[in-house]
């Protein structure tokens, strides 16, 4: 499986969103942290309004899943895979990687709504917009992601590519090495001991 690109910014990195000018020259992606997500759905509604003008969660490019008995919330959007299979599977090349930003986008003018990219995506990140009749996915709002601005707990951050993948690899390794580590870190994050921008025990983002 292709690894998502990206890296968390350093502990002092900006998580409140950044303008397009800051993204130029440095490839950036959204980094989602389910341990900080409170399930407030502001990102979902904000995305839907920003992209469609409607307060319809079904048309949002980001989704939040509830973790059943575990009481967790997991935000999910495009992981901007380095080898994005959705771009290969798309019959019309509507789903493609932008040369300048490196972000994978779907050209809605060329999409035929076949939903192949949804089947192809290992995360199921693209979603079908029934009203528009096309598949849609996160394109980081052209370098100024609205969900990041709206996420009060800092569960969504717009970070440089390099740090994001290292962060994710480290998380997976930690979880496999110490299954209960995730609980401790989540608990610390929710109780306010550690949050975005603060130094955790591992000296990085939560």
Interface with other proteins by CB under 8 A: which residues?
A: 1, 34, 39, 41, 44, 57-58, 60, 63-70, 72-74, 76, 85, 87-94, 110-116, 118-124, 128-130, 132-135, 168, 171-172, 175-176, 178-184, 186-187
Which residue's CB is nearer to other proteins, number 70 or number 100? 70
Which residue's CB is nearer to other proteins, number 23 or number 44? 44
Number of H helices, E strands in the chain: 7, 8
| Closest approach of other proteins to the CB of residue 189, in Å | 13
Kindly give the pairing relationship between strand 127-129 and strand 104-106: unpaired
How far is Cα 198 from Cα 206, in angstroms, rounded to an integer? 9
Which residue's CB is nearer to other proteins, number 24 or number 67? 67
| Closest approach of other proteins to the CB of residue 6, in Å | 13
Fill in the DSSP letter of residue 193: S
| Closest approach of other proteins to the CB of residue 21, in Å | 31
Which residue's CB is nearer to other proteins, number 49 or number 76? 76
| Closest approach of other proteins to the CB of residue 34, in Å | 6
| Closest approach of other proteins to the CB of residue 141, in Å | 19
- Per-position b or e across 58-93, b if 16+ CB within 10 A of its CB: ebbbbbbeeeeeeeebbbbbbbbbeebebbeebeee
Kindly give the pairing relationship between strand 63-66 and strand 73-76: antiparallel
| Closest approach of other proteins to the CB of residue 183, in Å | 5
Which residue's CB is nearer to other proteins, number 28 or number 59? 59
How far is Cα 169 from Cα 166, in angstroms, rounded to an integer? 5
Which residue's CB is nearer to other proteins, number 139 or number 171? 171
- Per-position b or e across 114-132, b if 16+ CB within 10 A of its CB: bebbbebbeeebbbbbeee
């Amino acid at each position: 499986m292709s690894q998502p690109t990206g890296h968390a910014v350093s502990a002092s990195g900006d998580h409140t969103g950044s303008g397009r000018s800051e993204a130029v020259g440095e490839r950036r992606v959204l980094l989602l942290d389910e341990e900080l997500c409170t399930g407030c759905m502001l990102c979902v509604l904000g995305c839907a309004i920003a992209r469609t003008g409607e307060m319809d969660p079904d048309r949002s490019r980001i989704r939040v899943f509830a973790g059943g008995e575990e009481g967790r919330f997991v935000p999910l959007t495009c992981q901007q895979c380095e080898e994005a299979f959705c771009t290969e599977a798309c019959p019309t090349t509507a789903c493609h990687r932008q040369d300048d930003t490196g972000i994978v986008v779907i050209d809605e003018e060329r999409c035929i709504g076949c939903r192949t990219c949804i089947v192809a995506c290992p995360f199921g990140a693209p979603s079908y917009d029934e009203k528009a009749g096309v598949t849609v996915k996160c394109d980081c709002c052209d370098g100024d992601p609205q969900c990041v601005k709206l996420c009060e707990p800092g569960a969504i951050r717009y970070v440089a590519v390099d740090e994001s993948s290292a962060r994710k690899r480290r998380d997976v390794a930690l979880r496999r090495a110490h299954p209960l580590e995730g609980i401790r870190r989540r608990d610390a994050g929710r109780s306010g001991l550690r949050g975005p921008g603060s130094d955790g025990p591992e000296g990085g983002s939560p």
